[in-house]
Amino acid sequence: MPATIDFYLARVAQCDKEAQETNLANVKERCLRSKAAWQIMSDRALLVQIDRKRQALDKMRKKDEHLD
């Protein structure tokens, strides 16, 4: 997993921890919004990684087809 996705997931965990530890409603809401935003960024980065791997596999398959 690339460092970027690890970074995003670490932020998700940190925001979740902070949300659970606070008693202040506005701080909890802010932490949960931040958690959601980091999770979206992580999900998108993972989708990009999957798509790049899929494209590389397709490229290799096409190359193999031409060699046959």
CA atoms of 8 and 47, how far apart (whole Å): 14
pLDDT for position 16: 98
Judged against a pLDDT cut of 80, whether residue 2 lies above it is answered with no
Pick 66 or 23 by higher pLDDT.
23
3-state helix, strand, coil in the chain (%, to 5): 90, 0, 10
How many structural domains does the chain have? 1
Q: State residue 24 phi and psi, 5-degree precision.
A: -90, 125
What rounded mean pLDDT belongs to the chain? Answer: 94
3-state secondary structure of 2: coil
Predicted TM-score of the model (pTM): 0.81
The token pair at 8 is 């995003």
**Which residue range is the domain that position 53 belongs to?**
3-67
pLDDT for position 1: 60
